Amino acid sequence: MTDTPMNHHEQIDHVVETGVALPFWTVFKREFSAYFRSPVAYGIAFAVLLFLGVLFNGYITYANQSQQTPADSTYAPGLLVFLLFLIAPLLTMRLIAEESREGTLEVLMTLPMHEGQFILGKFLAAWGYFTVLLLLTVVYHLILLTIGVPDLGAAFGSYLGAWLYGGAVIAITMIWSAVTEDQIVAAFLGAATILVLYLAEIAASWVASQGAVGGIADFIRELGLQAHFGVTLSRGILRLEDVLYFVFMIVAALFITTRIVEIRRWRA
Amino acid sequence: MIEVQNLVKKYGEVTAVKGITFSAEPGQVTGFLGPNGAGKTTTMRILTGFMPPTAGTARVAGYDVFDKSLEVRRRVGYLAESVPLYRDMTARDYLMYIGEIRGIKRPRPRADEVLERVGLASRAGSRIRTLSKGMRQRVGLAQALIHNPPVLILDEPTIGLDPLQVLELRQLVSDLGRDHTVLFSTHILSEAEQVCDKVVIINRGEIIAAGNPNDLRASLERGARVLVRADAPAGALRELVAGVKGVQSAEIGMNGVVATPASADRDPRSEIVQAVVQKNWKLTEIRPLAINLEDIFLEVTRRQAQDADAPQSAEAEAGS
């Protein structure tokens, strides 16, 4: 503390002009740019693109040889959606856990901002990063356009679906980052939750095969993620109920996260 | 500016704050004093709107901390005990971030202004992780000042600083106290005495004394034990002092004879001086043992312990 002495105070104690604050936007800007400063985010992008690239290469080689497989633009977003059970926890694990462990949450929660704004900003940042990742895979669609005639409706549906799907999965995994201060635990629990929701369809068929009342199996299927993507959006079938399902999942998960942060703060 | 009434905070079974009442006025530094775990941080967290009280009320700048939490937060600058900061950000970026969340229109010049104020202008562009402990403390303080709040709540701001840094920070807090309401917690009692216009002493969730440090000292000097030193054999001096009217007992201590007054509102010093002078001994020192807040604190807690568990503890303390 020896560089310069602390100065006298008259010069700074003037009225500080304030305007309309948009805390969620401020939080979003910081978190979103943080992804592009962190090696983890580049690592995820690299791994995903490499994985998709290799599989896509094999796919079009095969499609070329067989002369029968249509150019399918839903291939890349479909794969990305599957990979989300790994990607989303990595993107969200630190969002709240780190702030909570470092104590920076305490400062934020004494600022004139509702928890919801803070959670929303964090969520949008992670979703924004995922959006960038998804847009990068548009390159596969462009390649398909040069070598075939892909179904544009299916392409649009699957990209929109993957985007909403990503939002829901990111919002859900973020809950765990609010529950525990341990990022690794948050990531594991997040991955497990998403796998369960991904595999709900299998669980539903099993329940149905056990002779349970039809309604239960249907309910489990509808609760799962794939029922709203795999057979509808990813084939270009745009159903309002699927879009509403993802929007509902996002809103519900953000609400739960907000409540958890609030409750943890009250007990701190 | 800060009014706390019968504030209670329970964590499950544990009651951290047991119905405290105090206030802090504008233009003053109020010291919140007590050992670690006394309930200082809990109280401050309630005052900043970070968590709600279990019972009782607290008003800051005229707003209830629970019902009008956001209004309170707009008017309070808070430096948390652990000084949590984003280590990957530069000092300026961090302050701009906080300023923007607070809705400050031109966060950048304001960030530079407060950095200047805390003497960190030259390190504005340094990442926080590269700053020393003292500098981080100042970034934390700058964060609390960014919106020029009428109320400042500083939780142990001098902890972990080197002596020069401590002096600078105390000076800054004193300066700020002139036109802000400052609530400043510390467990270093001499610090509160130097910086504060008023102290509130808290122990185990209860306020055990409050007031102007000088008044507190004066009231405690009455009835406080008195240290007497003179050019005379210790044994003879002890006997003389013990015989003085108004003295209950006298023991030989480390630096002289310690006299315990007969009652709590009694100051036997003039009688002792007279007795020593009559003997023609040279009196070299006579003073109450409680001369700073440290002693006040010990005295108050000693009296509490005395009230609680009979005369034993008083014996054990005597002659220290």
Domains: count for chain A: 1
Q: Evaluate if residue B156 carries a pLDDT over 60.
A: yes
Of the listed ranges A160-164, A214-218, B64-68, B155-159, the one predicted with least confidence: A214-218
According to the model, what pLDDT value does residue B303 have? 66
Chain-chain contact of A1 with B51 (C-beta, under 8 angstroms): no
Residue with tokens 């949590």: B84
Q: Evaluate if residue B63 carries a pLDDT over 90.
A: yes
Residues of B in contact with A16 (CB under 8 A): 104, 110, 146-148
* Residue A54 resides in a domain: yes
**Closest by Cβ to B50, choosing from A19, A23, A110:** A110
- C-alpha dist (Å) from residue B41 to A75, A262, B44, B298: 55, 19, 5, 21
Domain B2-211: assigned CATH number: 3.40.50.300
Q: Evaluate if residue B110 carries a pLDDT over 90.
A: yes
According to the model, what pLDDT value does residue A18 have? 78
Amino acid, res. A79? L
Low-confidence stretches of chain A (pLDDT < 70) are 1-14, 67-71, 212-214, 268
* B212 in reach of chain A (CB within 8 A): no
Look up residue A224 and give its DSSP letter: S
Where does chain B hold its CATH 3.30.70.100 domain(s)? 219-317
**Closest by Cβ to A111, choosing from B98, B123, B171:** B98
**Closest by Cβ to A6, choosing from B49, B74, B119:** B119
> Residue A35 is inside which H or E element, if any?
helix A23-35
What is the pLDDT averaged over residues B156-174?
Answer: 87
Domain B219-317: assigned CATH number: 3.30.70.100
Give the CA-trace dihedral at B221, B226, B231, B234, to 10 degrees: -170
* Residue A182 resides in a domain: yes
pLDDT tens, A77-88? Answer: 888 888 899 999
Interface ipTM: 0.86
What is the pLDDT averaged over residues B220-243?
Answer: 84
- Expressed as residue numbers, the domain containing A188 is 20-267
Taking residue B26's Cβ as centre, other Cβ atoms within 10 Å add up to 15
A235–chain B nearest CA distance, Å: 42
* Residue A50 resides in a domain: yes
Residue of A nearest to B179 (CA): A13
According to the model, what pLDDT value does residue B163 have? 87
Residues of B in contact with A9 (CB under 8 A): 117, 175-176, 178-179
A162–chain B nearest CA distance, Å: 32
Q: pLDDT category, B306, cuts 50, 70, 90? A: low
Residue with tokens 């005052």: B47
Chain-chain contact of A1 with B168 (C-beta, under 8 angstroms): yes
Percent share of chain B, pLDDT over 70 = 89
* Residue A1 resides in a domain: no
Residues of B in contact with A262 (CB under 8 A): none
Residue with tokens 């990068």: A136
* Residue A248 resides in a domain: yes
Q: DSSP assignment of chain B, as one string?
A: -EEEEEEEEEETTEEEEEEEEEEE-TTEEEEEE--TTSSHHHHHHHHTTSS--SEEEEEETTEETTTTHHHHHHHEEEE-TT----TTSBHHHHHHHHHHHTTBSSHHHHHHHHHHHTT-GGGTTSBGGGS-HHHHHHHHHHHHHTT--SEEEEESTTTT--HHHHHHHHHHHHHHHTTSEEEEEES-HHHHHHH-SEEEEEETTEEEEEE-HHHHHHHHHTT--EEEEESS-HHHHHHHHHTSTTEEEEEE-SSSEEEEESSTT---HHHHHHHHHHTTPPEEEEEES--SHHHHHHHHHHHHHHHHSTTHHHHHHTT-
Q: pLDDT category, B233, cuts 50, 70, 90? A: confident
Residue of B nearest to A117 (CA): B101
Q: pLDDT category, B2, cuts 50, 70, 90? A: very high
Q: pLDDT category, B309, cuts 50, 70, 90? A: low
According to the model, what pLDDT value does residue B65 have? 92
Exposure string over B103-133, b if 16+ CB within 10 A, otherwise e: bbeebeebbbbbbbbbbbbebbeeebeebee
According to the model, what pLDDT value does residue A147 have? 77
Where does chain B hold its CATH 3.40.50.300 domain(s)? 2-211
Residue with tokens 């992780």: B129
